Amino acid sequence: MNTPEVSIIIPVYNEEAGLPALFARLYPALDALATGYEVIFINDGSRDRSAAVLREQWQDRPDVTRVILLAANAGQHMAIMAGFEHCRGQIVVTLDADLQNPPEEIAKLIAKMREGYDYVGSIRQNRQDSAFRRWASKAMNGLRERITRIKMTDQGCMLRAYSRSVVAAINSCAEVNTFIPALAYSFAQRPSEIEVAHEERHAGESKYSLYSLLRLNFDLMTGFSVVPLQWFSMTGIAISLLSALFVIFLVIRRLVVGPEAEGLFTLFGIAFFLIGLTLFGVGMLGEYVGRIYQQVRHRPRYIVGAVLETKE
């Protein structure tokens, strides 16, 4: 195997039903590129037959296929990290395994990269996801745009291309929680974007529950911005100023009119409001502290069980 120009990285988690259809479209699309390529599948601790299906594919196309079997589920972004550390291409393309990102669109990304960009993101046209997902993505995109310096039209699409230098920069990070498109953007010197088609999931169901989507968005927001913390302290300052004024008013009122007995529930209301805010602040701090804790443990981010590849 000579060093290929293009590396394709595909994380796979419980995708046995869709993999054959992926192979059937991916390899012809890559052969049509007429350049050296390698496909790296990362089995992210699937509990179904995905690993076996990938092994068969490796035996079928050992010249261009490599399979990394992670010993346990590490999450989509960590699986891609494992792929980044094993890939050799000058242009590295990430792709979902469920055919939501049409493999035929890879050619467009590569053409754009060859124009001299070091990171090409993508914008999904006619996104084929539930209305709730589309709405939530829009909200999260907007929030990210405001609180981080990362500019992306569509942060959620994983069909992207990265240059060798951007991948090397990502590989030098030892982050435990991360969001790869944002991390790549922060290292890119000449980023660009193109529009790509989007399809419905070919088989199976989304591997993201509402909970894991929420976790992922916390990774993005806390990983690339401390603005949420700053917002909290600003609100804290404003509220304490207001309550100081309120106390002064009550003292004066007590001296002039006498003590007040009514308004007890107003006070309760205010107290609960403040308790709520405090809890929110503690939780917010926890988000950061939790990440610091995970980082300082220096645990391996994933463990490679085996690598299936043909050595030259």
Pick the piece of the chain touching ligand UDP (CB under 6 A) from 19-27, 70-78, 140-148, 180-188: 70-78
37-44 vs 304-308, strand pairing mode: unpaired
In the list 4, 75, 103, 181, the residue contacting ligand UDP (rule: CB under 6 A) is 75
| DSSP tag of 103 | G
The residue (of 96 and 154) whose beta carbon lies closer to Mg ion is 96
Q: Is the dihedral of CA 211, 217, 223, 226 positive or negative?
A: negative
Find which of Mg ion, ligand UDP, none residue 4 binds, CB within 5 to 8 Å per kind: none
Nearest approach, Cβ of residue 60 and Mg ion (Å): 24
Q: Is the distance from CB of 287 to CB of 225 less than 8 angstroms?
A: no
The residue (of 156 and 191) whose beta carbon lies closer to ligand UDP is 156
Residue with tokens 């007429």: 34
In the list 16, 96, 193, 219, the residue contacting ligand UDP (rule: CB under 6 A) is 96
Nearest approach, Cβ of residue 12 and ligand UDP (Å): 5
DSSP H stretches of helix in the chain: 19-31, 50-60, 76-86, 106-114, 131-147, 164-171, 180-187, 210-224, 227-256, 264-296
In the list 7, 57, 65, 76, the residue contacting ligand UDP (rule: CB under 6 A) is 76
Structure tokens at 299: 């645990």
The residue (of 96 and 105) whose beta carbon lies closer to Mg ion is 96
Q: Is the dihedral of CA 282, 288, 290, 293 positive or negative?
A: negative
Three-class SS of residue 226?
A: coil
Residues 36-55: x where in contact with ligand UDP by CB under 6 A, - otherwise, as a string = --------x-----------
Tell me if 11 contacts ligand UDP by CB under 6 A: yes
For ligand UDP, the binding residues (CB under 6 A) are 11-13, 15, 44, 73, 75-76, 79, 96-98, 100, 206-208
